Amino acid sequence: MEKKKCKQCGKSFEAKRSDSLYCSNTCKQQAHHKRATEKSPSPNKDQEMTVFYLDEYQNLNWENFDIITFCFLRRNLKGNVSQDEINHYINAVVWDDTDWRVKYDTIRRTKAFADFQERFLSGEIQVLSKKEIESEA
């Protein structure tokens, strides 16, 4: 048997095989878990919209439709889309075959909405006018 140093914990151990890397099954599992978590990025976090345009919200012309819910729904439309596309999408989501208030309340009770609302209220999500952005450029 050969003396080796564990790749996970660093302890010396008697290797039963010449290709052994770890002193125990526990160290082997810990190393596997460490590799797996290092490789997997957080899903969609990097791709999610964090800046929204106030102008798009104001052009929606819906009463009692708050800006957080607008941004929550708008985040699904990636890239530069027209106001008509935004209106069509939000109408399709909210005005399916139910009363819009029921659908609106259902959306707002989801965990995804609660997470988004927390990020919105913490300032991680920004709402700017297009004029503000153009003047900064």
Please classify residue 30 by burial: count the beta carbons closer than 10 Å to its beta carbon, then call 0-12 exposed, 13-18 middle and 19+ buried: middle
**Which range has the worst mean pLDDT, 4-18, 42-56, 76-90, 109-123?**
42-56
- pLDDT computed for residue 47 by the predictor: 59
Looking at per-residue pLDDT, the higher value among 98 and 17 belongs to 17
Amino acid at 21: L
Q: Report the predicted TM-score, pTM, of the whole model to 2 decimal places.
A: 0.59
| Low-confidence winner among 38-42, 73-77, 84-88 (lowest mean pLDDT) | 38-42
pLDDT digits (tens, 9 = 90+) for 9-35: 999 999 999 899 999 999 999 998 888
What does the DSSP 8-state code read for residue 15?
E
Contact 129, 55 (CB under 8 A): yes
